[in-house]
Amino acid sequence: MQITLSRARLQAALFALLAAIAGAGLAVEVLKPILRLKSRSGVVPLLSLSYEQNVPTWYTSCLLFACSLTLAAIAAGARREGGFVKHWWGLAAAFLYISLDEVVEIHEAASSWLDLGGVLYFSWVIPAAVVVAAFAIAYLRFLAHLPRGTRNRFLLSGGIYVTGALALELPLGYWTEQAGSNNLVYALIDFVEESLEMLGVNLFLVSLVDYLCVQGWTIGFSQAAPEAQPARVERPA
């Protein structure tokens, strides 16, 4: 039996789920002061994009993990003569780490390294920016060898994600220092930040699927008697 997943349906499902989760997160924050919703229990901590260990967090983590698995599939079937197999594996490992970090908040520990204020209130953005810059430099040749459409989609999705994950932490940090985090302005800034992150990951996952389609790759599973064979990744010659 062969199962074929429509790229158009996948994209529609991903963005419908994104709209639902982001919309629900915004709704509970706007309605919180109006309906006097509790901040420590109920729908606010469950759905708000400003909270951790909740529906939006797990959604984003699952998206990142899906990207990691797709990248690993591409790496497993990539031709070695191009010299970029390790780059695909590197991306797979990076997305796996970010997926874990989304849940356990490893990056938050970096804020204790520096005691800064203002836009650098969340000081973890400094080492994160250095890592992102180094990663970008290391992947310049890799990006250059990609088809133009794929490269542009990678850059667009990456730019959106980094804008949300890093750039918007600056105004968010400034506002947090000035007014704290228990207010609507903080929630709105954080809503934009988290929404951009989710949008960027969604676009990247779709671009990976596009890359597989354009390259003519198929991912299949075979069942042979008497023992099952491992999954295989095939690419036409």
DSSP at 111: G
| Residue range 7-62, pLDDT digits in tens | 788 889 999 999 999 999 999 999 998 898 888 888 999 999 988 889 999 999 99
pLDDT at 214: 75
The reported pTM is: 0.86
For the stretch 103-136, pLDDT in tens is: 887 766 666 667 778 898 888 888 889 999 999 9
Domain ranges of the chain: 7-221+228-234
How confident is the model at residue 156, as a pLDDT?
Answer: 97
Ranking 126-130, 164-168, 225-229 by mean pLDDT, the lowest is: 225-229
What is the crossing angle of helices 7-35 and 55-77, to 10°?
160
CA dihedral 159, 161, 167, 169 (to 10 degrees): 180
What string of DSSP letters covers 83-104? S-HHHHHHHHHHHHHHHHHHHH
